[in-house]
Amino acid sequence: MTQEVNTLFTNALVLTMDKDFTQYFPGAVAVREDKIVAVGEESELKKEWSAQETIDCKGKVLMPGLINAHTHVPMTLLRGLADDLRLDVWLMGYMMPVEREFVSPEFVRLGTLLACAEQIRSGVTTFNDMYYYEEDVAKAASDAGMRAVCGQTVMKFPAPDAASYDDSLQMARDFIARWKDHPLIIPAIAPHAPYTCTAEILRATADVAKEFDVPLHTHLAETAFEVENIRNDHGMPVIPYVKKQGIFDAKVIAAHCVHIDSGEMRTLLHAGAGVAHNPSSNLKLASGFAPVVKMLETGLNVGIGTDGPASNNDLDMFEEVRLAAFIAKAVTNDPTSLPAPWALAMATRLGAQALHLGHLTGSLEAGKRADLILVDVSPLHNSPSFKRAADNAYAQIVYAGKSTDVSDVMVNGKWLMRAHQLLTLKEDELLAQAAEIAKQIDAFLIEREQSVLSKLIALGGSLEQESFEVQVKVKITETDPVIRALQRPEIDVIRERHYREHDVYFFFDDPSQGRLRYREDDFVDDARNTVTHVRARLTLLGQKREGKFQDEVLLSRSRYISPASQSLRFYREYFKPKSEVVIQKDRLRWLIQYKKTEFFVNLDQMQEPQLGYYLEIKSRTWSRKDAERKAQLASELLSVLDASSGEKVTEDYIDIVGEV
Amino acid sequence: MTQEVNTLFTNALVLTMDKDFTQYFPGAVAVREDKIVAVGEESELKKEWSAQETIDCKGKVLMPGLINAHTHVPMTLLRGLADDLRLDVWLMGYMMPVEREFVSPEFVRLGTLLACAEQIRSGVTTFNDMYYYEEDVAKAASDAGMRAVCGQTVMKFPAPDAASYDDSLQMARDFIARWKDHPLIIPAIAPHAPYTCTAEILRATADVAKEFDVPLHTHLAETAFEVENIRNDHGMPVIPYVKKQGIFDAKVIAAHCVHIDSGEMRTLLHAGAGVAHNPSSNLKLASGFAPVVKMLETGLNVGIGTDGPASNNDLDMFEEVRLAAFIAKAVTNDPTSLPAPWALAMATRLGAQALHLGHLTGSLEAGKRADLILVDVSPLHNSPSFKRAADNAYAQIVYAGKSTDVSDVMVNGKWLMRAHQLLTLKEDELLAQAAEIAKQIDAFLIEREQSVLSKLIALGGSLEQESFEVQVKVKITETDPVIRALQRPEIDVIRERHYREHDVYFFFDDPSQGRLRYREDDFVDDARNTVTHVRARLTLLGQKREGKFQDEVLLSRSRYISPASQSLRFYREYFKPKSEVVIQKDRLRWLIQYKKTEFFVNLDQMQEPQLGYYLEIKSRTWSRKDAERKAQLASELLSVLDASSGEKVTEDYIDIVGEV
């Protein structure tokens, strides 16, 4: 007696991707509702099962759908926006400013639908995501019919979807509670990374993951820099540090794991954690070479992910699988490393296990959900076919297959693509909407790029507004007379400082953009002859003077100032100056009162270039009238300090030195 | 007044890939006969030129065709035949045996046509080849309408198309003379590599290249092993060595250059040599990471190649360009290395220059040949598009473009593909023929894989035929009595040797396959207590005895023997034994005459495992009658050597030790 099923696939090269790498040719798979009920030889299954629909696969490969083990799908909308940049410039200079401006539930929905279309086309049936407004990712993925682990981001910074960590944690709880039993979506919590979360956040997210028994998705040990920082701050590598916060009590999915040692691998193994390897992303961002062969030898479930399409720049798992195999060979110096069957296992069975979904998907076995794809291995770029060994079939897919060879995709027993036609998504509409968003982002960035000031503002952080300053500067030959004169009774010294100032000035093609100064102040403790601390600031200087008074006392408009939280290298790559000039000086600085008015007195020794000594007298001002009064006082002070005979200098130091 | 052209491309994003990376949008290109006559803004060109056909490119990218700077195109027919193997196993165990059996002018033609179809589909307009029967590659490429540098292979070994180096040199001369002025084909000479050519071959091929002013295409410094060998044999690295042979007097195209230093880069630069970088091949075969960024900084013309499709396993230049950019970032630990515009320049302008064809192709500039392609950057996997910066366009192609996005291809002013339809090739016929060849190769290899003997024979090299041996073996406790007895007058010692023998026995699943012994004989000079030389041999041992005489004297069938020119590791990976046993012994061996008959007398001390001393008496035999006589003499000799009371042993050493 035959039993009834919905669909019987016949005449296929069935790669089950089960743990024995069982193949059937001509093979068959029987699907009833959302599940696979039988896999085997065609002749056997034809006897046992009668189907509402029988599909002749015409010799194509029938295999489990691919598992994209780590991504940020809404970032399809930022694909190709900025490339060939260092991670910090890319993230702080482009991604985060644009995300602050554009990311919304609608943006997330559109980006996810685009990503689903691209992933279905390339044979992905399950993906593991981390982004903002993750509930909208979940809705879109479920509408598209894909299986997805959806991780709501939690981190210590304000995010596009949450003003604080508490808000995002609450969002995550509510989302998980609502979606817990969905047939396609596995809600999850995603503390972004150890360096963007506090220990408290790691513990709190692990608690939520345990409470609801859902996965915890995070980035771990992606760069050497991260490992170094965690080691400096906490005295241990990344994996022991996050273990200490209890995250391994949850079902962890650890993306990257580029810089971990064999002890850390064992920790992950004992914790039952899954790993997501991201070959393209690790290469393109120069993060390093993950020790994939060692991780597999340790027994870890290592899946493969595309990472977000803004850094990769696509969601092509065929490319990732091939690259995983290639890189493993090159870094172990052994072409037999990570052979094709295992590379493909990483993208299927091992990937599903890494996501803690091994019981549901990742291989074609009776009882699992019907997540499967048909791949044509007969196109020109993959012909001819050899059948001498079982491994030939895996090598065809891994070493010469293209995502465009996927013709049909079923998830949870439901067709998402047949004969290259998407059934759940309208590509043209999505593309039109995406083009509209891209136009807005282009306009936003073009506007911003037009001015150094707007690029500075886009970086965020606290930025002082413009102010006006009265100042006079004279060249002097000796400093002792000035220092002595500062002790006169009419001058009240409030405080005294000693800095060494290292300035780098950026010049731009368009002089009206002004100059950008990156200054490091080394605070010198003269008693102990040590630098007590260093302060870095960024200042945008205009070229114009606002006014001039007697004795060459100037009124200048000063100048956007922000703390320089990034490195000089960051600002160089972000602002792309046409040239740079370095100036170093030794500065003695007094804050004084003279006739009840505060002035700064700077006694500067120019060291690079060696230009001798200068005296500067400065005071902030807020009105024209106040400025006139202070200009008068500054002029008097010059005399009090015995410097009125010195050569008056009306230029900034950078103008004295000039552009090189 | 407008001038007449054949074709005017309009409404394109024109990436000229000239040295200033000039772009036009909406841009236009005018083509007359085989040449580009104008490139620029659409509005300008529309005024200046009237065309027989105007093509609206609908915003697609119009760019120079890609240059595949190093390949072996006929190997499409061997794609996916054997993967995940070490180079020597892959080459000596699979490629060369199959090539010896199958490569013919017809094979080369079919493989080339398939490769042309695949390359045209993926936007390649020029390729640089090296194979056998290269004139047939040239004919096929020209029939397909592609531009190609066709290098006839010359090497010291017999090749499928030439019994000797002289033959292949003559073939190369004749081929070059006949094709010298072809509009599409640039004939060339291809000394395979420094390690497969003698110094004389390198000089002779350089002379031919100079005489006809054609390129010389060769593999240089592909693996660390090659560099080490050349250094050992010639006392210098690869580039100085081949320079000494005069090859840089010719126009060299050097494939790989993975292991070269900055001095060697300067040598290549001064010689005007081009370099072909092969990212996929170098990763998949674990050859190493070529210093691409340094080569470019040195000023070298570095192109990108796919290498042969049997090792890659495809001819997809989009993949190679992306990989070149990725790897450069990862190995320099700098994500700003080899940015997208430069990666694409390597695949176009720099590639053409590397092939010494910079005057003909590689960029869209007036005066160059019309080799151009249209690429659709609007598909789902490459949407949306940002236009903020000029580099966005290169990043789209390099980081998210697919070969399947190429829609139209023109070479030398002639259409080879329009709207994804090939115009010069019939894919279905080619695929059917390729499938037929693949079936034959499968059958050949399956037949071969069935027997260890046929796998051994497939390796080639001199192989001794079977012979018969009479032998007797006894266990002894002391060696001195035997050594003394050998001085008796009835024994005439012809020579005496002392070896240490290291044997590794391979066992197979099917015992009837016999056992394969890999033996290293260390020849010991007792006077100086040194090993004078080492000989390695491979012997296939059957399990059967052919006969037995009195005193346990045996007649055994011996056994295919060949010199073991490869490493133990090679044979292990090639024959895939199910288990191995190691035996080591110290052997004193005398060749003696006794009653005018030659015998070998072996006095063996078994060291691993420690089994004590054995005496063996052996003699070759060719007829049953001769065998009977020698068995009688061997029996007598046992007495003469005072060993007839010893325990007779009828087993080979390996059977005494047994399978582990």
CATH code, domain with B637? 2.40.320.10
pLDDT of residue A452: 81
Contact by Cβ (8 Å): B222, B230: no
Q: Do A325 and B284 touch (CB under 8 A)?
A: yes
Q: Do B286 and A339 touch (CB under 8 A)?
A: no
C-alpha span between A154 and A176 (Å, rounded): 13
Contact by Cβ (8 Å): B305, B273: no
CA distance B285 to chain A (A): 5
pLDDT of residue B228: 95
Mutate to test the interface with A, among B225, B307, B388, B574 (most CBs of A within 10 A): B388
Check whether residue A193 and residue A265 sit in a common domain. Answer: yes
Mutate to test the interface with A, among B71, B77, B83, B284 (most CBs of A within 10 A): B83
CA distance B464 to chain A (A): 29
Q: Would the pLDDT of B119 be above 60?
A: yes
CA B619-B620-B622 angle, 5° bins: 140
Contact by Cβ (8 Å): B307, B72: yes
User: Which residues of chain B lie closer than 8 angstroms to A446, CB-CB?
Assistant: 388
The residue that leads in pLDDT, B5 or A625, is B5
Instruction: Determine the average pLDDT of the residues in B588-596.
Output: 94
Mutate to test the interface with B, among A77, A78, A84 (most CBs of B within 10 A): A84
* Best mean pLDDT range from A211-215, A571-575, B577-581, B627-631: A211-215
pLDDT of residue B373: 98
**What residue in A sits closest to B316 (Cα-Cα)?**
A381
Q: Which residue has the tokens 């009195």?
A: B550
Joined tokens for residue A511: 């002089």
With CA atoms as reference, report the closest residue to A333 among B588, B284, B129, B58: B284
User: Which residues of chain B lie closer than 8 angstroms to A285, CB-CB?
Assistant: 329, 335
Residue B426 per-residue DSSP state: -
Task: Report if residue B407 sits inside a domain.
Answer: no
User: Which residues of chain B lie closer than 8 angstroms to A339, CB-CB?
Assistant: 83-84
C-alpha span between B152 and B172 (Å, rounded): 6
pLDDT of residue B51: 96
Tell me which of A18, A40, A63 is where a domain ends. Answer: A63
The CA dihedral of A83, A86, A91, A92, to the nearest 10 degrees, is -120
Check whether residue A297 and residue A240 sit in a common domain. Answer: yes
Joined tokens for residue A422: 């998407």
C-alpha span between B90 and A3 (Å, rounded): 48
With CA atoms as reference, report the closest residue to A589 among A520, A475, A486, A503: A486
Contact by Cβ (8 Å): A470, A618: yes
Residue B249 per-residue DSSP state: G
pLDDT of residue A554: 76
Contact by Cβ (8 Å): A189, A172: yes
User: Which residues of chain B lie closer than 8 angstroms to A122, CB-CB?
Assistant: 381
Residue A159 CA: distances (Å) to CA of A131, A166, A168, A440:
10, 11, 8, 21
Task: Report if residue B531 sits inside a domain.
Answer: yes
Peptide bond into A97 cis (omega under 30): no
pLDDT of residue B558: 57
C-alpha span between A455 and A67 (Å, rounded): 39
pLDDT of residue A656: 84
Tell me which of A17, A35, A63 is where a domain ends. Answer: A63
Mutate to test the interface with A, among B381, B444, B454, B576 (most CBs of A within 10 A): B381
pTM of the model: 0.86
The ranges of chain A with pLDDT < 70 are 1, 460-467, 543-546, 557-559, 660
- Tell me the per-residue pLDDT of B474-525, one tens digit each, with 9 for 90 and over: 999 989 999 999 999 999 999 999 999 999 999 988 887 888 999 999 999 9
Check whether residue B40 and residue B70 sit in a common domain. Answer: no
User: Which residues of chain A lie closer than 8 angstroms to B400, CB-CB?
Assistant: 79-80, 309, 312-314
**What residue in B sits closest to A387 (Cα-Cα)?**
B442
Contact by Cβ (8 Å): B464, B126: no
Minimum mean pLDDT range among A216-225, B173-182, B243-252, B527-536: B527-536
Query: CB-CB: which of B86, B378, B438 is closest to A336?
Result: B86
Give me the CATH number covering residue B72: 3.20.20.140
User: Which residues of chain A lie closer than 8 angstroms to B396, CB-CB?
Assistant: 80
Task: Report if residue B124 sits inside a domain.
Answer: yes
Q: Do B382 and A83 touch (CB under 8 A)?
A: no
C-alpha span between B402 and B379 (Å, rounded): 10
The residue that leads in pLDDT, B456 or A382, is A382
Q: Do B383 and A121 touch (CB under 8 A)?
A: no
Tell me which of B63, B85, B109 is where a domain ends. Answer: B63
Check whether residue A472 and residue A519 sit in a common domain. Answer: yes
Q: Do B83 and A285 touch (CB under 8 A)?
A: no
Q: Do A286 and B334 touch (CB under 8 A)?
A: yes
Mean pLDDT score of chain B: 93
Determine the 3-state secondary structure of B353 from DSSP: helix
Task: Count the domains in chain B.
Answer: 3
**What residue in B sits closest to A428 (Cα-Cα)?**
B380
Q: Do A335 and B285 touch (CB under 8 A)?
A: yes
Q: What angle do the packed helices B134-144 and B105-121 form, to 10 degrees?
A: 40
Identify the H or E element spanning A297. Answer: helix A292-298
**What residue in A sits closest to B395 (Cα-Cα)?**
A80
Task: Report if residue A446 sits inside a domain.
Answer: no
Query: CB-CB: which of B380, B404, B431 is closest to A431?
Result: B380
**What residue in B sits closest to A325 (Cα-Cα)?**
B284
With CA atoms as reference, report the closest residue to B652 among B469, B464, B498: B469
Determine the 3-state secondary structure of A368 from DSSP: coil
Residues 6+ apart with CB under 8 A from B587: B497, B498, B499, B500, B501, B602, B603, B604, B605
Based on the number of CB atoms within 10 Å of its own CB, is A488 exposed (0-12), middle (13-18) or buried (19 or more)? Answer: exposed
pLDDT of residue A566: 84
Query: CB-CB: which of A283, A316, A381 is closest to B326?
Result: A283
With CA atoms as reference, report the closest residue to A118 among A137, A144, A136, A143: A144
Query: CB-CB: which of B392, B400, B442 is closest to A314?
Result: B400
Contact by Cβ (8 Å): B524, B499: yes
Q: Which residue has the tokens 């490429």?
A: B141
Q: Which residue has the tokens 């220990």?
A: A199
C-alpha span between A260 and A502 (Å, rounded): 38
B125: containing domain? 66-361+419-439
Query: CB-CB: which of A86, A329, A384 is closest to B335?
Result: A86
- Tell me the per-residue pLDDT of B14-50, one tens digit each, with 9 for 90 and over: 999 999 999 999 999 999 999 999 999 999 999 999 9
Check whether residue B554 and residue B566 sit in a common domain. Answer: yes
Task: Report if residue A104 sits inside a domain.
Answer: yes
Instruction: Using pLDDT thresholds of 50, 70 and 90, give the confidence band for residue B559.
Output: low
**What residue in A sits closest to B340 (Cα-Cα)?**
A84
C-alpha span between B155 and B433 (Å, rounded): 30
Contact by Cβ (8 Å): B19, B352: no
Dihedral pair phi/psi, residue A486, rounded to 5°: -65, -15
C-alpha span between B212 and B206 (Å, rounded): 10
Q: Do A391 and B84 touch (CB under 8 A)?
A: yes
CA distance A235 to chain B (A): 25
Query: CB-CB: which of A289, A340, A380 is closest to B427?
Result: A380
**What residue in B sits closest to A312 (Cα-Cα)?**
B399
Peptide bond into B489 cis (omega under 30): no
Task: Report if residue B376 sits inside a domain.
Answer: no
With CA atoms as reference, report the closest residue to A602 among A473, A491, A484, A480: A473
Joined tokens for residue B625: 């009658």
Q: Would the pLDDT of B543 be above 90?
A: no
C-alpha span between A256 and A258 (Å, rounded): 5
pLDDT of residue B111: 98
CA distance B88 to chain A (A): 11
C-alpha span between A345 and A294 (Å, rounded): 16
Q: A196-214 b/e with 16+ CB inside 10 Å = b?
A: bbeeebbbbbbbbbeebeb
What is the number of helices (H) and of strands (E) in chain A?
22, 28
Q: Do A83 and B385 touch (CB under 8 A)?
A: no
Joined tokens for residue B470: 């009479």
With CA atoms as reference, report the closest residue to B533 among B508, B497, B503: B497
C-alpha span between A87 and A606 (Å, rounded): 36
Q: Do B435 and A404 touch (CB under 8 A)?
A: no
Check whether residue B114 and residue B142 sit in a common domain. Answer: yes
**In terms of residues, how long is chain B?**
660
Contact by Cβ (8 Å): B629, B595: no
**What residue in A sits closest to B280 (Cα-Cα)?**
A326
pLDDT of residue B69: 98
Residue type, B468: F
Query: CB-CB: which of B84, B386, B427 is closest to A81?
Result: B386
Q: Do A283 and B114 touch (CB under 8 A)?
A: no
Check whether residue A189 and residue A277 sit in a common domain. Answer: yes
With CA atoms as reference, report the closest residue to A224 among A273, A265, A282, A297: A282
Residues 6+ apart with CB under 8 A from B596: none
Contact by Cβ (8 Å): B347, B357: no
**What residue in A sits closest to B114 (Cα-Cα)?**
A380
Task: Report if residue B155 sits inside a domain.
Answer: yes
Check whether residue A323 and residue A304 sit in a common domain. Answer: yes
Q: Do B330 and A122 touch (CB under 8 A)?
A: no
Joined tokens for residue A40: 């085997």
pLDDT of residue B50: 95
Based on the number of CB atoms within 10 Å of its own CB, is A311 exposed (0-12), middle (13-18) or buried (19 or more)? Answer: buried
- Tell me the per-residue pLDDT of A449-458, one tens digit each, with 9 for 90 and over: 777 877 887 7
pLDDT > 90 fraction of chain B, expressed in percent and rounded: 78
**What residue in A sits closest to B282 (Cα-Cα)?**
A330
C-alpha span between B450 and B460 (Å, rounded): 17
Q: Report the DSSP beta bridge partners of residue A547.
A: A555
Strand A35-41 relative to strand A515-525: parallel, antiparallel, unpaired? Answer: unpaired
Give me the CATH number covering residue A33: 2.30.40.10
Q: Would the pLDDT of B161 be above 90?
A: yes
Check whether residue B215 and residue B322 sit in a common domain. Answer: yes
Q: Which residue has the tokens 């250059």?
A: B257
Identify the H or E element spanning A397. Answer: none
Based on the number of CB atoms within 10 Å of its own CB, is B274 exposed (0-12), middle (13-18) or buried (19 or more)? Answer: buried
Q: Do B284 and A573 touch (CB under 8 A)?
A: no
Q: Is A284 left (phi over 0), alpha (psi -120 to 50) or beta?
A: alpha
**What residue in A sits closest to B437 (Cα-Cα)?**
A384
Check whether residue B226 and residue B260 sit in a common domain. Answer: yes
Check whether residue A494 and residue A428 sit in a common domain. Answer: no
Determine the 3-state secondary structure of B329 from DSSP: helix
Residue B468 per-residue DSSP state: E
Check whether residue A55 and residue A76 sit in a common domain. Answer: no
C-alpha span between B471 and B171 (Å, rounded): 52
Contact by Cβ (8 Å): B234, B197: no
Task: Report if residue B252 sits inside a domain.
Answer: yes
Q: What is the ipTM of this complex?
A: 0.85
User: Which residues of chain B lie closer than 8 angstroms to A319, CB-CB?
Assistant: 319
